[in-house]
Amino acid sequence: MKAFTIDRYSKNAPGQITEMPEPQLRDDDVLIQVHAASVNPLDSKIKSGEFKLILPYRLPLILGNDMAGTVVRVGASVHRFKAGDEVYARADDGRIGTFAEYISVRASSLALKPKNLTMVEAAAVPLVALTAWQVLVETAKLKKGQKVFIQAGSGGVGSVAIQLAKHLGAFVATTTSTANVDWAKALGADVVIDYKKQDFSSVLHDYDVVLNSLGNDELKKSLQILKPGGHLISISGPPTPTFADARGLAWPLKQVLRLLSAGIRNKAKKRGVDYTFVFMRADGAQLREITSLIESGAIRPIVDKVFPFADTHKALDCVDSGRVKGKVVVQML
């Protein structure tokens, strides 16, 4: 099968489309013909080697973390899905590779595609929607009437998180560029801060939850806007020892993460707030919940640009530019 691969970790090497073996089908797997796959900042981080200690992949590596497609066949122990089903998923951490004609995914990570979405639209959903769900529903346990600040509201995660937070009944603030202020308001944000004109830490106060997706400066400033007992949740790091325990990482690596996160954990403790690092995981049951929200109209995916499979490298460059509104998708079929 054709697949977009890297043979070494590099920020600048573009990757290439090559011939790779069709993925093996385990008893609890579903083999899927990929129709479309979305591009995420995580793909570039993996490509550059940023996660090689946490996610030790074998090279050559097929990139790509989420997709939509059609079931080709199922493993012996799979009963929820059958050949011909239209499905979507975030691939399991250790078995990524959605930039390919086929991929095997554990049945427990898979869900039927929302009926009201095209394959391209569905491909844009899993990673960002599961991230938003695992931050706001699972970790923050966001409640009606609470105040949440979602950074980078026009990005892939931000655009879904705004919609999910509003569905949960929260008051939502976000940041975006001048050109996207009205657009972010239309998504449901109650307060939209133009980061080119204002510093969010001087405008917002007494928030219950912050979803941080940016750098260390924004992380530290986020502490200032939280009320005592608030929760700072970061998807961009630094990872914590709790995260290391959850992933079963080796003791030396756990100590490295302890040191990396010590500063923000201590600052959070002094301010009486919690700090959590979330690295989203594949979860078919949560994806089914998200499907219901999409089919009811509570959440809609935002697709900015679509690239043909042959231009996967251009799609990665587009996401790296940081000027994407919503998601970029690579179309196979």
**One domain for residues 255 and 306:** no
First to last CA, the chain: 14
**284 lies in a domain?**
no
**293 lies in a domain?**
no
> Do 273 and 229 contact (CB within 8 A), yes or no?
yes
Can you give the pLDDT at residue 279?
A: 95
**One domain for residues 156 and 223:** yes
Distance CA 70, CA 105 (A): 12
> Do 302 and 183 contact (CB within 8 A), yes or no?
no
**One domain for residues 311 and 262:** no
**One domain for residues 119 and 61:** yes
**One domain for residues 185 and 153:** yes
Residue type, 289: E
Domain harbouring 29, CATH code? 3.90.180.10
| Helix orientation angle between 41-48 and 312-320, rounded to the nearest 10 degrees | 100
Can you give the pLDDT at residue 52?
A: 87
Enumerate long-range contacts of 180-186, CB under 8 Å, 24 or more apart. 180/153, 180/154, 180/325, 183/154, 183/325, 184/153, 184/154
Distance CA 223, CA 129 (A): 25
Can you give the pLDDT at residue 13?
A: 87
Can you give the pLDDT at residue 173?
A: 98
Domain boundary residue, one of 261, 277, 293:
277
Residues 6+ apart with CB under 8 A from 77: 27, 28
Domain boundary residue, one of 232, 261, 277:
277
Going from the C-alpha of 13 to that of each of 58, 62, 317, the distances in angstroms are 17, 14, 11
pLDDT (tens, 9 = 90+) of the chain, 333 residues, equals 999 999 999 998 889 999 999 999 999 999 999 999 999 999 999 999 998 888 889 999 999 999 999 999 999 999 999 999 999 999 998 899 999 999 999 999 999 999 999 999 999 999 999 999 999 999 999 999 999 999 999 999 999 999 999 999 999 999 999 999 999 999 999 999 999 999 999 999 999 999 999 999 999 999 999 999 999 999 998 999 999 999 999 999 999 999 999 999 999 999 999 999 999 999 999 999 999 999 999 999 999 999 999 999 999 999 999 889 999 999 999
**One domain for residues 140 and 212:** yes
**One domain for residues 132 and 267:** yes
**One domain for residues 42 and 150:** no
**One domain for residues 251 and 137:** yes
Domain span holding position 203? 128-277
The b-or-e profile of 110-137 (16+ CB within 10 A means b, else e) is bbbbbeebbbbbbbbbbbbbbbbbbbbb
| Domains in the chain, number | 2
Pick from 100, 209, 195, 101: nearest CA to 147: 209
**One domain for residues 265 and 227:** yes
**292 lies in a domain?**
no
**118 lies in a domain?**
yes
Enumerate long-range contacts of 179-182, CB under 8 Å, 24 or more apart. 180/153, 180/154, 180/325
**One domain for residues 226 and 252:** yes
Can you give the pLDDT at residue 331?
A: 98
Extended beta strands in 170-225, E state = 171-176, 191-194, 207-212
Domain harbouring 202, CATH code? 3.40.50.720
**291 lies in a domain?**
no
